[in-house]
Structure 1
């Protein structure tokens, strides 16, 4: 299990856009999203993962991530996720 520490920053301009050297296409959907935990599947380029995050305690939360077969995640997104993005 990993501990995620999430930080958010407000950018003052769009100058960072000129520094982008590559982009990544992804598709994701939630199998469950409650106060206690969220369970998400994601396809980023050709890599498929299952991600489980616990509730936030301060700035920390438990996080688990597992690689899954791409066809399985495509099927989960199409059949079980309420609103795939």
Structure 2
């Protein structure tokens, strides 16, 4: 259950015209310890509980376990989460032989747009769409667990 992904900032909203799916996501964290996070998510009408381990040195891969739960269970568990609920719209874009998931954040993280691509290996090649910007893979400030504690609106040039 290894997750291998790369993250990028997004330079324009052109991705919206290429999206084949759009889903609202609300999520919180029961635990944001650097060694492990426990996330509760409502994605559309579905609930999920996800446990993620610490990233490897490159920041490209880490353990991930996810289980679908009911939306009602997820709503109840969100009440137990640490402060800082994340709200975003996720766009799915097919590009060449891969799918990019682009998260357009709302609320305290409004203005931040991050694209992720999941890969089968850390060295797997992929094509980059024109709206893909700087790579931020492994930069922990862009992890959702950190965005819940230090939202984008509070960032300074030192963050």
TM value normalised by structure 2:
0.48
Q: Which residue of 2 aligns with 1:48?
A: 47
Q: In 1, distance between residues paired with 2:25 and 2:4?
A: 22
Larger mean CA deviation between 67-76 and 33-42 belongs to 67-76
Structure 2 CA distance for aligned equivalents of residues 50 and 40 of structure 1: 6
- Tell me the equivalent position of 1:67: 68
Structure 1 residue 13: Cα displacement: 4.2
**Match of residue 111 from structure 2:** none
Q: Which runs of 5+ in 1 are unaligned?
A: none
Distance between the aligned counterparts of 1:15 and 1:64, measured in 2? 32
Cα deviations by residue, 1:43-76 (Å, 9 ceiling, x for unpaired): 0011100011000013210000001122111011
Residues in 1 aligned to 2:32 and 2:17: alpha-carbon distance in whole angstroms? 35
1:76–1:10 distance in 2 versus 1, CA, 3 Å: closer
Give 5+ residue unaligned stretches, structure 2. Answer: 87-159
Instruction: Determine the C-alpha separation between the residues in 2 that align with 1:69 and 1:16.
Output: 30
Higher mean C-alpha deviation, range 32-41 or range 16-25: 16-25
Distance 2:62 2:17 in 1: 33
Q: Following the alignment from structure 1 to structure 2, what is the Cα–Cα distance between the partners of residues 28 and 67?
A: 14
Give the secondary-structure state (helix, strand or coil) at the position aligned to 1:9.
strand
